[in-house]
């Protein structure tokens, strides 16, 4: 900042024309300054032509005003053209039109592959799942004796709508409303056939999802998608890695190092991981790169660093990748118009867990639990002995302190 002030002061002292414009122009991108340079050349050529023709007085002022008006028109025209091009891109992506409700399938007279492919992502698939559940209950004669019968259903239409349109979309709302109706139909059937006094229910999810970056400002937040510059940085990290260690078959697939190559090159895994992690962490979208060496070490920071704990819990020394890329918060790993999950942040991993226990009044427990606690908790509520190696905690005593008959 001090250098800019001193430079501007120097321009004033030497009586440079428009010192502020010169100082600001130093920080403009080349494509902008080159246009200014061309404009200056055109003006110089115009002045030379006016001197040759001896244009002075009002005529000279008229020419200057016309040039200024024309330049202003070019500036405004460029801005409007940018807006128009952006509108065209958004329109092609379907982001300027609601297109709701959506058609299923393609422009065909009969159901084709496109129809059946897209049908799975609609709320109507949940209705069919309820029909299947009813058929299974009747076919297997569930709930008719003293033995505990277990039925697990996966209502997945919301996952598809959430990915394609975002959790704040009309599509997601439509799926939720229809799912509520489908579940109501299933519960009414269970009550009529078995009686809800003999039915325990649980609802949860395997992940959350990030709000579309375009919708975050409405919530007072700022986020972004990865873009071309992030992709280039990622690729340059790989090139930097190859230039440092030499070109070879370093990976068997993305983020999985080829240990045969490491052995042939007489390189430690930790050395190679560290070099690539440091290179990737220079990318603007990357918050941290976790290495398998780091996750497998006995770090004293385990309790203090939440993300270290999360990535270590997800890591398997044999099957997992050698590096994990953690993007910055509210940075979406998508170049398209959809959203996704997979980050360690709260919006991707915080889900609700609902359990209905017959005869127990509803209440909310704010304690932090894990989705893998669901199985041992249900077993505890039903009086079923869980296997000793089953992961998860049994919360049944918090839900029903005296147990369930």
* pLDDT tens by residue, 218-270: 889 999 999 999 999 999 998 999 999 999 999 999 999 999 999 999 999 99
Comparing 9-13, 92-96, 181-185, 214-218, the range with the smallest average pLDDT is 92-96
Residue-level pLDDT at 404: 46
List, in order of start, the domains of the chain with CATH numbers.
2-92 (no CATH), 123-216+356-399 (no CATH), 224-347 (3.30.1360.150)
For residue 92, give Cα distances in angstroms to 85, 97, 109, 174, 337: 11, 10, 25, 24, 11
Long-range contacts of 221-225 (CB under 8 A, 24+ apart): 221/330, 222/330, 223/329, 223/330, 223/331, 223/332, 224/330, 224/331, 224/332, 225/331, 225/332, 225/334, 225/335
pTM: 0.71
Residue-wise DSSP of 117-176: HHHTTSTHHHHHHHHHHHHHHHHTTTTSSSS---------HHHHHHHHH-TTSHHHHHHH
> What pairing do the DSSP bridges indicate for beta strands 286-291 and 251-253?
unpaired
Beta-bridged to residue 261, according to DSSP, are none
Q: Give the list of residues 6+ apart from residue 189 with CB closer than 8 angstroms, or none.
A: 134, 137
* pLDDT tens by residue, 310-356: 999 899 999 999 999 999 999 999 998 899 999 999 999 999 999 99
User: Which residue carries 């990748």 as its tokens?
Assistant: 321
The CA distance from 319 to 259, in Å, is 13
Asked if 8 and 23 touch (Cβ cutoff 8 Å), the reply is yes
- Cβ burial 72-102 (10 Å sphere, 16+ → b, else e): eeeeeeeeeeeeeeeeeeeeeeeeeeeeeee
Judged on CB neighbours under 10 Å (0-12, 13-18, 19+), 294 is buried
Closest CA to 123 of 102, 109, 139, 144: 102
| Count of C-beta atoms within a 10 Å radius of residue 148 | 13
User: Which residue carries 């560290």 as its tokens?
Assistant: 274
The CA distance from 315 to 352, in Å, is 24
Question: What percentage of residues in the chain have a pLDDT greater than 70?
Answer: 85
Query: Can you read off the two tokens belonging to residue 60?
Result: 């000279």
pLDDT band at 194 (very low <50, low <70, confident <90, very high): very high
What's the DSSP call for residue 210?
P
Does residue 399 sit in helix, strand or coil? Answer: helix
Q: Give the list of residues 6+ apart from residue 209 with CB closer than 8 angstroms, or none.
A: 162, 163, 166, 167, 339, 340, 341, 347, 348
Closest CA to 269 of 257, 278, 280: 257
Residue-level pLDDT at 403: 44
Does residue 222 sit in helix, strand or coil? Answer: coil
Residue-level pLDDT at 33: 64
Largest CA distance in the chain: 110
Residue-level pLDDT at 303: 63
Asked if 346 and 312 touch (Cβ cutoff 8 Å), the reply is no
pLDDT beyond 60 at 96: no
pLDDT band at 3 (very low <50, low <70, confident <90, very high): low
Measured at the alpha carbon of residue 158, what is the angle toward residues 187 and 377, in degrees to the nearest 5?
Answer: 55
pLDDT band at 91 (very low <50, low <70, confident <90, very high): low
Asked if 375 and 392 touch (Cβ cutoff 8 Å), the reply is yes
């Amino acid at each position: 900042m001090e250098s800019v002030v001193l430079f501007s002061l120097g321009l004033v002292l030497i009586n440079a024309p428009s010192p502020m414009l010169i100082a600001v122009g130093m920080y403009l991108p080349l494509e902008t300054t080159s246009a200014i340079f061309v404009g200056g050349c055109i003006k110089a050529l115009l002045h030379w032509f006016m001197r040759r023709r001896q244009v002075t007085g009002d005529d000279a002022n008229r020419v200057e005003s016309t040039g200024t008006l024309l330049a202003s028109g070019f500036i405004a025209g460029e801005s409007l053209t940018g807006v128009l091009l952006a509108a065209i891109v958004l329109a092609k992506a379907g982001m300027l039109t609601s297109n709701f409700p959506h058609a299923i399938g393609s422009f065909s007279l009969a159901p084709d592959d496109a129809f059946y492919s897209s049908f799975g992502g609609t709320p109507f698939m949940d209705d069919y799942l309820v029909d299947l559940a009813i058929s299974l209950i009747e076919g297997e004669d569930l709930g008719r004796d003293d033995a505990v019968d277990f039925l697990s259903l996966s209502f997945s239409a919301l996952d598809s709508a959430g990915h394609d349109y975002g959790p704040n979309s009309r599509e997601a709302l439509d799926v939720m409303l229809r799912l509520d109706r489908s579940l109501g139909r299933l519960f009414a059937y269970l009550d009529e056939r078995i009686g809800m006094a003999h039915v325990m229910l649980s609802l949860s999810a395997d992940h959350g999802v990030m709000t579309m970056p375009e919708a975050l400002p409405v919530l007072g937040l700022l986020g972004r998608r990865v873009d071309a510059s992030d992709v280039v940085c990622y690729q340059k990290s790989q090139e930097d890695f190859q230039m440092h260690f030499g070109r070879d078959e370093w990976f068997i697939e993305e983020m999985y190092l080829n240990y045969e190559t490491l052995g042939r090159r007489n390189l430690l895994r930790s050395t190679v991981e560290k070099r690539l992690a440091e290179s990737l962490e220079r990318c603007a979208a990357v918050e941290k790169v976790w290495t398998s060496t780091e996750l497998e070490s006995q770090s004293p920071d385990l309790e203090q660093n939440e993300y270290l704990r999360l990535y270590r819990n997800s890591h398997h020394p044999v099957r997992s990748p050698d590096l994990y890329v953690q993007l910055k918060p509210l940075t979406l790993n998508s170049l398209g118009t959809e959203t996704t999950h997979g980050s360690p942040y709260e919006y991707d991993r915080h889900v609700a867990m609902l359990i209905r226990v017959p005869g127990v009044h509803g209440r909310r427990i704010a304690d932090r639990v894990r989705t893998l606690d669901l199985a041992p908790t249900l077993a505890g509520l039903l009086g079923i002995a869980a296997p000793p190696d089953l992961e998860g905690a049994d919360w049944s005593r918090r839900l029903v302190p005296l147990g369930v008959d």
